[in-house]
Structure 1
Amino acid sequence: MPAPSVIQHKLGKDGPLVPAMGFGLLPLSIAYGSIPDDEERFKLLDRAVEIGSTFWDSADLYGDSEALLGKWFKRTGKRDQIFLSTKFGYVKGAQLGNIDSSAAYAKSACAESLKILGIDSIDLYWLHRPNRETPIEETMRAMVELKKEGKIKYIGLSEVTSTTLRRAHKIHPVSAIQMEHSPFTLDIEGPEGTDLLATCRELGVAVICYSPLSRGLLTETFTKNEPVTDEKDLRWAAFPRFNENVRDANVKLVNGFKALADKRGCTTSQLALAWLLKQGDDIFPIPGTKRIQYLEENWAALDVKLTDEDELEIRTFVQNNKIAGGRLPEKYNKGLVDTKAES
């Protein structure tokens, strides 16, 4: 676990203390371009531990992420220094969008993840996304059984509505929810996101923010608007906000955001992360990267202290400058739906 000097916050009402910023592992294994070799990725994981970034977020969907972690744990013996979260729900090997949140699949997926990771217990186990045909109560009861068996320690839900969260929470306390959240993706604050933030705060559930930099949009790399050189980087072809039809408009917008960062002596990404951290101790951004340089830059956002006036200025800028394009490709953007009720 992190050194005492690392800023830590409680993960939900009854959860453990974890670093205030997590580390998203998806870019290390899938979607964000060419994958570095194992040695280079091990060095990044080693550096994360050195600086205190020990709240790691993976998923069985993320390419070889769990296998990579398994090799790193075996090689370093540092499993006890990591608060590890991983997810299940998307059926591996099937077309993306094939979701199974049944009790049987929860148990088999957990067993598979534990085997690949080479560990006895997962600190925080997430339902990646619910299948609307499976009652959330069924999924939760299976996860509670996994907890009683010592295979997981805390329960999390990703991409759920307020109604689904409330139903789940009646079965067993949910420690955290995970949703996309950034200065330019504020759905969870309003009705389009089922007022999920307010529900979490009522129930004492932490909010883990994936894509806090809008998949790299809120970085100074994006502001340069350089040609794409890595054909394996799926963002440029698949994600609407990177589409060439809106890219120039979004580059202009992010350069305006960069001007706000320049005023405060930090980078664009640091300002975005610091703004999220300013929203409350129950908000945990989990930026991901495959480069030590950006890992360190993101981590340094913990030292960027914003005033209430800073927070308001940034929020006003966001309200007056709408980003172009949706957050997900249309075929994956099914929106939040409730699972069916138990019969």
Structure 2
Amino acid sequence: MGHDFAESGGYSHSRRRVLGMGAAVAGWSLLPGSLALAAEEAGGREGEAIRKRPIPGTNELLPVMGLGSSGAFEGREATKMDALRRVMESFVELGGTVLDTSPSYGNAEANIGRLARETGVRDQLFMATKVRSRKKEAGLEQIAQSAELLGEPIDLMQIHNFIGLETQWRLLRTMRGEGRLRYIGLTHFRTSAFEQLEQEMKSKDMDFVQFNYSVMTPEAEERLLPLAADRGIAVIVNRAFNDGRFFQQVRNEPLPGYAAEFDCTSWAQFALKYVLSHPAVTVVIPATSDPEHLMDNMQAGYGALPDEAMRRRMRETMASL
């Protein structure tokens, strides 16, 4: 794993309770024709585009709100596939491009590839996936299978949780050099991996690194985020909701009034805007199969972000709950 799988799982009832000032107040509709209007309302300025940040090595711009798929995009039920189709369409219409997945997420790659083709949005997606094999030949097979399922190009190939690290790193560097992969990187989802991540970020010429970071677990601010900025490495953040524990902590709590100062209308946006307010973060990838949650999440990519004083206040609020 490595994403907020709880977005689509057992914490959905908690999430609905704390949407509060989000969808209900903004008056959002899930009808496709209302998506652009919803984005404008959340951003606070008519016609505002989603915030984008550059990939340091190339200055290619990416929208800061991405979409994860662990748990969320797995399954085969017709009703879930209908919901995922709406999630995919809404994600792109609201300005998202970065979609992160892995062969280890059940049939998520197959579902993503099929839905991207059916909805006609494949060419608008920045497709990121992972390799998690210990041997070179198995890695090549896995990468080929991902490309077949997701469609080409694979924009970003990441080594999943250090599995087969040195073997797969040599393979990814070769494939990048040959133009078969656009970007390469590493991922992990646990704070306990930060020491090794730091060493790998110092020694490897990676384009991206992915790790966990949130208002509840801000340890990445100490060394990893400054190091990424210094080294020119793009950062993808997973577990922004701490696998749903964030929503458990804020359940039945009113959204602080000061959240309006950074265009925040829900607890989900509170968590996501905290992450995005760190300048070294390139993209955050909450996973969801719920179109309403997707709409709520995406609004974090619009409008103002908290400054450092506000970030301290946000941490204090969470510590007091």
8 Å contact from structure 1 (residues 103, 138) kept in 2: yes
Please say if 1:316 is aligned against 2:320: no
8 Å contact from structure 2 (residues 68, 101) kept in 1: yes
8 Å contact from structure 1 (residues 85, 124) kept in 2: yes
Which structure has more helix as a fraction of its residues? 2
Corresponding residue SS for 1:279: coil
* Candidates 136, 140, 143, aligned match of 1:110: 143
Q: 1:27 to 1:4 in 2, by over 3 A?
A: farther
- Within-5 A mapping of 1:275-314: 275-305=274-304, 306-314=306-314
CA RMSD after TM alignment: 2.9
| Counterpart position of 2:27 | none
Deviation at 1:257, TM superposition (A): 7.8
Is there any run of 5+ residues in structure 2 with no aligned partner, and where? Answer: 1-46
Q: Give the distance between the partners of 2:197 and 2:256, measured in 1 at CA.
A: 40
Q: 1:24 to 1:260 in 2, by over 3 A?
A: farther
Deviation at 1:57, TM superposition (A): 0.9
Please say if 1:127 is aligned against 2:171: no
Deviation at 1:65, TM superposition (A): 1.1
Q: Give the distance between the partners of 1:200 and 1:257, measured in 2 at CA.
A: 35
| Counterpart position of 1:153 | 182
Deviation at 1:54, TM superposition (A): 1.6
Q: Give the distance between the partners of 1:151 and 1:4, measured in 2 at CA.
A: 35
- Within-5 A mapping of 1:251-270: 258-259=255-256, 266-270=265-269
- Percent identical pairs in the alignment equals 23
Deviation at 1:162, TM superposition (A): 5.1
Q: Which deviations, in whole Å up to 9, do the C-alpha atoms of 1:282-306 show, x marking residues without a partner?
A: 3421112111111111111223522
8 Å contact from structure 1 (residues 55, 83) kept in 2: yes
| Counterpart position of 1:185 | 217
How many residues were matched structurally?
267
Q: Give the distance between the partners of 1:35 and 1:200, measured in 2 at CA.
A: 41
Q: 1:126 to 1:257 in 2, by over 3 A?
A: farther
Please say if 1:52 is aligned against 2:85: no
| Counterpart position of 1:88 | 131
Q: 1:22 to 1:35 in 2, by over 3 A?
A: farther
Normalization by structure 2: what TM-score? 0.73
Deviation at 1:277, TM superposition (A): 1.1
| Counterpart position of 1:17 | 61
| Counterpart position of 2:84 | 41
Deviation at 1:110, TM superposition (A): 0.3
Q: Give the distance between the partners of 2:302 and 2:73, measured in 1 at CA.
A: 28
Q: Give the distance between the partners of 2:169 and 2:217, measured in 1 at CA.
A: 28
| Counterpart position of 1:5 | 49
Corresponding residue SS for 2:246: coil
Q: Give the distance between the partners of 1:268 and 1:55, measured in 2 at CA.
A: 23
Corresponding residue SS for 1:312: helix
* Counterpart residue type for residue 207 of structure 1: V
| Counterpart position of 2:239 | 211
Is there any run of 5+ residues in structure 1 with no aligned partner, and where? Answer: 90-99, 223-249, 323-343
Q: Give the distance between the partners of 2:52 and 2:283, measured in 1 at CA.
A: 10
